[in-house]
Structure 1
Amino acid sequence: MYRRPARQTPPQLRPDRLTSGICQPSRRTQRTQRNQNLRVLCGKLPRSTANITKRKGGNEMPEYDLVIRGGTVIDGTGIPRIRADLAIKDGRVAMISGRINGGGAKELDASGCIVAPGAVDLHTHYDAQLNWDPYASLSGQFGVTSLTVGQCGFGFAPTRPEDRDLNMRMMNRIEAIPLESMRQGMRWDWETFPEYMDSLDKQGLGVNVGCLVPFSPLRGYVLGMIPARERTSVTEDELNQMKQILHEAMQAGAFGLSADKNLEDRPEDGSWLPSHVASREEFLALSQVLAQFGVGHIGWTIGISDDRPAQRDMLAEMVRMSGRPLHVILGDEEGYQWLKEVREEGLPVIAQETAVPVISEFKLSEYNLFDYMPNWVQPLVGTKEERIAKLSEDGVRVGMKRDVIERPHPRTDWAQVQVVEVAQERNLKYEGLSIADIAAAEGKEPLDAFLDIALDEDLETEFAHPAGGRGDNDHEYISSPFSHISVSDGGAHTRFLVNSIWPVYFLGHWIREKNLMSLEQAHQKMSALPAWFSDMKNRGTLRIGDFADIMIYNIDELGLLYDKPQFATDFPGGEKRLVQMPTGIRYILVNGNVTFQENECTGALPGKLLRSYDQVG
């Protein structure tokens, strides 16, 4: 039996080079890998790196903790860049000047580099991963310094002890977070939402983290997780309990509420989410709770849905009732027309956009991104053996074919679905071909060709298809003044996607190569706008008194280290995930402390658990 040699784990991702779950590549390894695998978008090789130096001489105390010298400062506000030094004291920007005479306890040489605010990502799923990876990799090394968790109405708080495993299995299905990693890596020293925040706060963080209250576990905590997936209404007492839990979470510093009605998001048994079946009245009542605080926002995923107009109407009413802003994945082109209308009304609504064309590599033994098609759900629920049995049943393909016709999507555009790697030598002829080409050559319908290959290899064939995102023809959505760049889904789909590369891709592809906007506008869009929108006070910009969350990079050298993402086994339980590495980023600073230098983790944990009540006044 043919077995292709396993992909080699990149040397810099060996488990013995992990600290707190983060890789620390050796310089020698970096040079070797760059020579062999470097893909820099501009075609230039990285030059020598800057150095951290400690101040020498004299007994006087240095005036600053750290001084960044000789860089080009883009402060995130949109004003023109300047060549300047930047000084940091007590984690904040203390001075920006063409020349700073005072010394720093440490100094960075940023010659030839941009000094800019770190990226702010408002759509991640690091809720579990932060338990074992305080740097939220890959985001933390690709330039993200602040992020929010609890998106799409998913998360792990509040959760009763008896529902912990059920919630982990749900997140394994929906967000493809490895189940064994969650079982081994999560502390579970919390039950309520305030306790979850306290747990993150005391563990130590390498990035700044804000938490939204996820709707599905909130409803499940009151009704029970299984009834919460089935019941379409709640009693007055149950609704009051839900409101009280949200109120207590906001008092503890939550940044708002999130929910999801995306049909491709299904729990472990393929049923509905609590947010799918919940009533309009529940969401409006929770909006009234947000109105009491004057801080926080609503996060929502419409995605692939059958009731988009009704959702949009409800969301507008939620914004009116709460007085709080909404950031939303719109799901279709009509959504942008609605966005224009509500913006004309004066409602603070922002669209979430990804700057990365999302290509997913997957095996049917573990994939879930076909769940928006009802006749695909149950055949792809369960263990690999259970999936094989159900996909082999007579008649199952009839409904699956009907769904492909009735619900067209790039994921089933068979001309774009490719065979990447086969598990059997007899099928090597398929590698690199599209399903459409294979079907035409063999006289089959495309779905039959797709499933025949997969079943012949016990669902271990590796395919690839477009999973979303924006291509080069979608620049108007990315550049819209009513959108922010985010949606990395960081921490989720770790075996299929690496969208956390977005800061480097956005700056390298869209700005340097496509000239979509100026660098000043780009940093405003990826840092200042989401920080302002989400009430992250004094973040996203580099003005005097702002927190020193900074990325230092050479714009000409920004790129990706590997030709394609590589598998690493650095998750708890030895579970694998796809990884990538940036080139061109010299330093990442969080609250004035260096967390990454040339992809090497420093071990510092300067990140903060952000509390919304600290962001007002």
Structure 2
Amino acid sequence: MTAGKATVITGGTIVDGSGQIARRADIEFVDGVITQVAEPGEISTAHSHRHVQADGLLVTPGWVDVHTHYDAQATWDPWMTPSSWHGVTTAVMGNCGVGFAPAVPERHQWLIELMEGVEDIPGSAMVEGITWEWESFPEYLDALERKPHVIDFGTQIAHGALRAYVMGDRGANNEVATPQDIEQMSKLTEEALRAGALGFSTSRTPLHRSKSGELVPGTSAAPDELYGIADAMKRVGHGIFQFSPEHTRVPVEEWPWMQELARRSGATVSVNVNQLDDGSEVWRKTLALLTTAHETGEKIVAQTAGRSIGILMCLEGSVHPLLAHPAYHEVMHLPFAERVAALSDPVRRQRFIDEVPQDGFYKGLVTKALKRMYPVTSGNIDYEPHPSQSIGEQSKATGIPAMKLIVDHMLSNGGKGMIYSPFFNYMYGDLSMTYEMMQHPQTRNGLSDAGAHCG
């Protein structure tokens, strides 16, 4: 009989993360350590402290979510929801160059608005929740350590916060860093790594902007700045260099400095890779470079999403198709119920169909996106819808104007109708690209943003 308090899980289907086929088995663990994995019925439950009957359920290791933005929430929420609800036992935050340390008091609101713009996290929640018990990155880690948490987490020092701390307005405005600036950023990165940070992150995509439309500090940073920061990882002996790119630039402009940075620092470079919906198939060029990296032993990996990345659009959300139309602008200030009533007026509904804006915002949000707008028709959302179900295809099949289909659906259910719009990794109309990407030895399942980018 095993000493200590034994827990036995019986009847479950094990998916162990190794790539092996799922199998039914029983598991025993004592004081948090697995002691047996055996065929069903082979482990006795007679003397177990606890017996969990897992028939019909999956038994898995705890998930490590390598791409989240809990940097603010972790300072006040012990539950780290929704990740802890879904089997995540470790979450890595500080991705994409946005975070909250180091920080001087006069930058607090600016950092909140940077995170709000890039990740669509309500600024009001961060203003109310963050108590700012730190200035340096080690002090931030100490503040996190003082709070109880039900899951573990890893941190990264973010380029946006670091650049603004060292360079002030020059850093925030993406001016060129001086050698002295780079030296100071490198020292602070080393300090963060020695205190427990997993790595450093930056953003190099124009999609990432603050609430006021400013690019994330570091977006246009020269390679010398990136090398100087990464040299801290060489001095410390560990570190991940994570960045969110402009995807079309990765195989050409970005790859040379990525290779050099990995070689000189010893750090693993982790780049986000997605399939654009413009037909360019640039992800395949990046995948080919990853294959070469794998063959030559270069420490470059790619984070890729477990399914398409998209937006659930509704009238209560921050982005939806009506937002680009003047007929909506006239009533968008109204409380929700009054707004729904105003949008339901037959005259206004007809204007959405008859008045077609010609500006780039409308074309990008509506006209060019009809092929990837899918009405949500039940609580069990289909994240792999057939292309024939898109608003664009339904409009062609029925002869009903696409904007009428959109307005009617969004006003359904008392104005709570939703539309799913995948904008990355769904150009084929299925998840075959995701499957192919995830088979590559240099890719890692990530980019969930703790669920925000899983639909």
Q: Quick check: TM above 0.5? A: yes
Which amino acid in the other structure matches residue 369 of structure 2?
D
2:345 counterpart residue number:
none
| Alignment partners' CA distance in 2, 1:303 and 1:369 | 23
1:296 Cα deviation (Å)? 2.5
Alignment map for 1:258-407 (pairs within 5 Å): 258-304=201-247, 306=249, 309-331=252-274, 332-362=283-313, 367=318, 397-400=358-361, 404=364
3-state DSSP of counterpart to 1:274: coil
1:135 corresponds to which of 62, 67, 79: 79
Q: Does 1:83 align with 2:25?
A: yes
| Alignment-derived partner of residue 573 in structure 1 | none
Q: For residue 148 of structure 1, report the CA deviation from its aligned partner.
A: 0.4
**For each residue in 1:452-476, what CA deviation from the matched residue of structure 2 results, as whole angstroms up to 9, or x when unmatched?**
x99xxxx999654213245332221
In the alignment of these two chains, the number of paired residues is 399
Matched, 1:92 2:33: yes
Look up the equivalent residue of 1:485 and give its one-letter code: N
Which whole-Å CA distance do the structure 1 matches of 2:9 and 2:272 have between them?
40
Shift of 1:323: 1.0
- Give yes or no for contact 2:307–2:431 (8 Å, CA) kept in 1: no
Give the Cα–Cα distance (whole angstroms) in 1 for the partners of residues 397 and 111 of structure 2.
43
Percentage identity across paired residues of the two chains? 25
- Which of 417, 432, 437 pairs up with 1:473? 432
Q: Where in structure 2 are there 5+ consecutive unaligned residues? A: 275-282, 325-331, 334-355, 378-388
Equivalent residue, structure 2, for 1:246: 189
Q: Structure 2 vs 1, CA of residues 463 and 84 (structure 1 numbering), >3 Å: closer, same or farther?
A: closer
Following superposition, the deviation at residue 168 of structure 1 comes to: 0.9
Tell me the distance in 2 between the aligned counterparts of 1:433 and 1:95. Answer: 49
CA change 1:222–1:254 in 2 (3 A) is same
Is contact 2:66–2:446 with CA below 8 Å preserved after alignment?
yes
Deviations 1:196-254 (CA, angstroms, capped at 9, x unpaired): 11111120111110111111111111112x43232431122211110111011011011
Structure 1 contact 229–273 (Cα < 8 Å) conserved = yes
Find 1:434's aligned residue among 391, 395, 401.
Answer: 391
Distance 1:253 1:204 in 2: 17
For normalisation by structure 2, the TM-score amounts to: 0.74
Q: Rate the CA distance shift 1:107–1:443 in 2: closer, same or farther, 3 A.
A: closer
Quick check: 1:264–1:304 contact (8 Å CA) kept in 2?
no
Task: Note closer, same or farther for the CA distance 1:352–1:117 as it changes in structure 2 (3 Å cut).
Answer: same
1:240-273: CA deviations, max 9, x gaps?
A: 1101110110110110111111221111111221
How far, CA to CA, are the matches of 2:99 and 2:149 in structure 1? 18
Q: Residues 202 and 307 (structure 1 numbering): CA distance in 2 closer, same or farther, change over 3 Å?
A: same
Structure 2 residue aligned with 1:413: 369
Report if aligned partners of 1:222, 1:241 keep a CA contact under 8 Å in 2. Answer: yes
Query: Structure 1 residues 298 and 102, CA, compared in 2 at 3 Å: closer, same or farther?
Result: farther
State the shift of 1:277 in Å: 2.3
What code does the residue aligned with 1:168 have? I
Q: Which of 443, 446, 450 is the equivalent residue of 1:483?
A: 443
Checking the alignment, whether the CA contact within 8 Å between 1:64 and 1:87 is kept in structure 2 is no
Matched residue type, 1:92: V
- Residue number in structure 1 paired with 2:65: 121
Shift of 1:485: 1.7
Q: 1:571-601: CA deviations, max 9, x gaps?
A: xxxxxxxxxxxxxxxxxxxxxxxxxxxxxxx
Is contact 1:303-1:329 (8 Å) kept? no
Shift of 1:311: 1.3
Q: Is the 8 A contact 2:241 2:268 kept in 1?
A: yes
Segments of structure 1 that go 5 or more residues without pairing to the other structure are 1-60, 371-375, 377-383, 386-394, 422-431, 500-617
| 8 A Cα contact 2:312 2:420, kept in partner | yes
CA separation in 2, counterparts of 1:114 and 1:164? 43
Cα contact 1:239–1:282 (8 A) shared by 2: yes
Contact 1:291 1:323 in 2 (8 A): yes
Contact 2:45 2:51 in 1 (8 A): no
- For residue 167 of structure 1, the aligned residue among 107, 111, 117 is 111
State how 1:105-120 maps to structure 2 within 5 Å: 105-111=49-55, 113-120=57-64
- AA of the residue aligned to 1:481: P
The answer to which structure, 1 or 2, has the higher relative contact order (CA under 8 A, 6+ apart) is 1
- Tell me the C-alpha RMSD between the 2 structures: 4.1
Structure 1 residues 117 and 463: CA distance shift in structure 2, 3 A: closer
2:176 corresponds in structure 1 to 233
Change in CA separation of 1:244 and 1:411 when aligned onto 2, cut-off 3 Å: farther
Structure 1's 305 and 193: CA in aligned 2 closer, same or farther, altered over 3 A? farther
For 1:411 and 1:313, the matched residues in 2 are separated by 37
Distance 1:76 1:64 in 2: 27
Shift of 1:79: 6.4
1:163 & 1:411 partners in 2: Cα distance? 39
1:215 pairs with 2:159: yes
Shift of 1:302: 1.5
Deviations 1:171-202 (A, max 9, x none): 11110101111111222212211111111112
Do the aligned partners of 1:136 and 1:206 also contact (CA within 8 Å) in 2?
A: yes
Q: CA deviation at 1:78?
A: 5.3
Mapped pair 1:206 → 2:154: no
